[in-house]
Amino acid sequence: MLKYILHRIALLIPTLVGITICAFAFVRLLPGDPILAMAGEHGVAPARYEELKEQFGYNLPIWQQYARYVGEVVTGDFGVSISSKRPVMEEFKILFPATMELSFFAMIFAMVLGIPAGIFAAVKRGSWFDQSLMGTALVGYSMPIFWWGLLLIIFFSGYLGWTPVSGRIGLQFFFKPITGFMTIDTLLYGKWDAFRSALSHLVLPAIVLGTIPLAVIARQTRSAMLEVLGEDYVRTARAKGLSPSRVIGLHALRNALIPVVTTIGLQVGTLLAGAILTETIFAWPGIGKWMVDSIFKRDYVVVQSGLLLIALIVMAVNLIVDVLYAVINPRIRAS
């Protein structure tokens, strides 16, 4: 098992190198000159331009810039934001819990609805429920997040007034964060009304962010379930006279869930990508919104390091999923 894990980690190295190259090249490939872009309407005097170029290291040959960048990243130095002048890592640590919290609730939403829907659709294969569910899943999968988020805000917050429009918690609640997770911090402080406020602020963004994973999980569960339901051991279980709920719940589901677990793990990438739009719409102070703000501010240091950090997280989660998969399915290890 250890050998398998080490092997998986070794495989990540080329990916890591590729990511640093992408993050590095991204900034250099953007049209225009980063310093001129930063200078805005006024432009910048030639002498000052040279000075800034030196300050940011853009005067060095490209390979030296890359070597410098990798050197910094390896030592854990992700640079300092051009606009706020704060270390990128410091901002990341403050903002990441918000993204985690939102992603967690989005995933709960997607799983709680997606898995039962998939099972039901598989069991009632070909029925009107199956067909409409798969149709809806396709719509959910193709839904533009931006449009979907605004639609929900206008209807539920604007028209019905059921949920708050945006933010993480009501403005009347004001306390120093402990863990950075609103739902946990409010409980630690013993503030039930603040906890309720935090939950109500999570409803719409979690639905919006969870929509695509919901569609994927529902479809994946359905197909995995269909495959398993045709297996010999299920037929055997049925032949033994077990009740349909026992056959499905015990024998089929446990085996069908193996690919579903993988799918759920792989949705982390989708969640982080979706967070960029969801957080911007819902004024959610997480890393997605941070990236968008930084792009608008032309804060290339944050964009470059933010990309790298997000990529690292996705890679780490994929690694964990791979390992977990090997744990539940020994055949993988052998191959």
Partner 1 sequence: MKKKLAFAAALLAASVLGGMANAKTLVYCSEASPANFDPGTTTGGNDFDASSRTVYSRLVEFKHGGTEVEPGLADKWEISDDGLVYTFHLHPGVKFQTTDYFKPTRDLNADDVVFSFDRQFNKANPWNGDKYLPNLTWDYYTGMDMPKYVAKWEKVDDLTVKLTLTEPNAPMLANLGMDFASIVSKEYAEQLEKSGKMADFSTKPIGTGPFQFVDYQLDSVIRYAAHPDYFKGKEKIDDLVFAITPDATARIQKVLAGECDIAPYPNPADIGTIKANQDVTLMDQAGLNIGYMSYNTTIPPLDKPEVRHALNQAIDREALIKSLFQDAGATPAENLIPPTMWSWDKDVKADAYDPDAAKKVLSAAGLTEIQLWASDRVRPYNPNFQRAAELIQADWAKVGVKAEIVNYEWTKYRSEGKKKDRPGAFQIGWTGDNGDPDNFFATLFACSAIGVSNYSSWCDKDFEDLIQKAKKTSDQAERTKLYEQAQVVFQKQAPAFLLAHSQVYAVVRKNVSGFMMDPLGIHRFDGVDKAE
Residue 28 lies near partner 1 (rule: CB under 8 A):
no
Q: How far is the CB of 310 from partner 1 (least distance, A)?
A: 16
Task: Please identify which residue in 71, 135, 144, 177 interacts with partner 1, judged by CB under 8 A.
Answer: 177
Read off the tokens for 334: 């052998």
One-character DSSP codes across 150-193: HHHIIIIIIIS--S-SSSSS-TT-----SSS-HHHHHHHTT-HH
Task: Output 81 or 305, the one with its CB closest to partner 1.
Answer: 81
Alpha-carbon distance 39 to 301, whole Å?
15
Q: Report in angstroms the alpha-carbon separations of 286 from 36, 59, 99, 163, 314.
A: 29, 34, 5, 20, 16
Task: Output 83 or 136, the one with its CB closest to partner 1.
Answer: 83
Task: Output 120 or 148, the one with its CB closest to partner 1.
Answer: 148
x-marked contacts with partner 1 along 32-71 as a string, rule CB under 8 A: xx--xx-xxxxx-x--x---x--xx---------------
> For the chain, how many residues are written?
335
Tell me which residue of 279, 300, 288 sits closest to 56, measured CA to CA: 300
Alpha-carbon distance 167 to 214, whole Å?
23
From 2-10, 163-171, 218-226, 264-272, span contacting partner 1 (CB under 8 A): 163-171
Residue 172 lies near partner 1 (rule: CB under 8 A):
yes
Task: Output 81 or 220, the one with its CB closest to partner 1.
Answer: 81
x-marked contacts with partner 1 along 86-105 as a string, rule CB under 8 A: x----x--xx----------
State the number of binding residues for partner 1 (CB under 8 A).
Answer: 58
Q: Assess contact for 101 and 181: CB atoms under 8 A.
A: yes
From 157-165, 207-215, 235-243, 247-255, span contacting partner 1 (CB under 8 A): 157-165
Angle 2-29/300-328 helices, nearest 10 degrees?
160
Residue 269 lies near partner 1 (rule: CB under 8 A):
no
Q: How far is the CB of 273 from partner 1 (least distance, A)?
A: 18
Read off the tokens for 16: 């890591």
Tell me the three state secondary structure of residue 29.
helix
Q: Assess contact for 24 and 66: CB atoms under 8 A.
A: yes
List, in order, residues 6 or more apart from 83 with CB less than 8 Å away.
294, 297, 299, 302
Residues in contact with partner 1 by the rule CB under 8 A: 31-33, 36-37, 39-43, 45, 48, 52, 55-56, 80-86, 91, 94-95, 150, 153-154, 157-158, 161, 164-168, 171-178, 189, 191, 280-283, 285-286, 289-290, 292-293, 296-297
